[in-house]
Chain A
């Protein structure tokens, strides 16, 4: 059946993309929280935060982009959960199609939806004074990191969507991920944090990803951060993918 994999995935992707274009509110609500954080931190706390950067919105944006993705993937889990619940997942699984294309369609939809949300957030940041002299290669590198991060978190969302018992359970898993940027270099430099907190912040994935994107935006040479960032993204992606597949096999047999 694998000969139909690409065709079936394309058909099912078309289906889920229609879900998104017919309920643009999911994109809007995805972007509300990160935009609210951005407004709050730039216009309320920003003046008192010494980020060592001349423009706080420039400093803040990379972390906000990660929060956008973290809140966006909860909809992926939600949509997958609804498919499981409504029986349409079983209908697809009982049809002569490449079975895994059902999951891949959700994953690709997640990618498209998150990219739209990210564009919206970047546009708002531009209105708030975000500026970057980064050239096309640097922007492409940022896009690459964000796509990899989205894919990694999407596979976590697939695990949640497949194994959740309720709608709330399907989306609740994303809260800790949304919270992770707060204990990182996303909002403030880590060196003012007390020892153990700083150690955690320095060694969790968000800090290296945020630092790498920040360096790309400010045209500073990217250090080892980008490799650590990529290692985290690929590592999470592989582990989440394996667990998602284990969960999936358990659900369909």
Chain B
């Protein structure tokens, strides 16, 4: 992370191609992600979002094109790339048999950090998991698991974080908690590449949005730029009905606001 890397974009992708046997998944993907920004890759299932994330996190090799993360080429400087990133995969990659705290300590030790216990305790506190710290992860709710998963990705403060569909399968409350965590990351200068199939998620979080379709990034811009691609808005008067999400959050939000007390209590009885 020398100064000449700071000038370059955090992620640079050009002409990326990848096929699985006959199936062409990526057919020339280009995009740049500026440092400290949140970039959303939007696409339907099977559009190739995970393939891009896997190439960028050195789990998969591209057939053609170049990609660099934090100034390091993913093909030739894979080890440096791995020093610079954290991957939060599509399914919360946590160890179910270990406790939440043990999961965090494990990652801290694998990142060769000093005082893994203190790092774990700090993150448990930050993600409201202190009460559940000593419990096996198999007793956690989906939202708690995802929070732990993201907490594990923050260990060692990597400058670039990949979040592959971080809110798929979460309830609305847990989704908002994840969004909050992602916003805090960007505020602290971390670059976030986020994939999602939810349009509102990209709208809520991302500084820039790219839409992946047919193996290419067909649009790439800020939300405002993307909106300008549509015909100008017409003014209509419509009675604003609360959405089901508004109703859900209004009803359950009240008693879940106090930390995750509701969530934890439910799991305690499960044990």
Contacts and interface: CB of A to CB of B under 8 A. Distances in A.
A19 B102 CA distance: 12
**Which among A12, A90, A96, A252 has the greatest number of chain B C-beta atoms within 10 A?**
A96
Contact of A95 (B90, B92, B107): B107
A88 B87 CA distance: 10
Nearest to B84: A96
B59 A252 contact: yes
Contacts of B83: 96
Interface stretch (B20-28, B109-117, B220-228, B256-264): B109-117
Contacts of B170: none
Query: At the interface, is chain B mostly helix, strand, loop or mixed?
Result: loop
Contacts, number: 64
Interface residues of A, number: 24
A15 B109 CA distance: 11
Given A86-B93, A92-B110, A95-B110, A1 B87 contact: no
Interface string A236-253: 000000000000000011
A7 B90 CA distance: 28
A33 B202 CA distance: 54
Contact of B59 (A4, A12, A94, A96): A94
Contacts of B93: 86-88, 90-91
A23 interface: yes
B229 to A, nearest CB: 34
A93 interface: yes
Interface in A126-151: none
B117 to A, nearest CB: 14
A87 B89 contact: yes
A109 B93 CA distance: 21
Interface of A: 1, 4, 7-8, 11-12, 15, 18-19, 22-23, 86-88, 90-97, 252-253
Interface of B: 54, 57-61, 79, 82-83, 85-87, 89-98, 102, 106-107, 109-112, 152
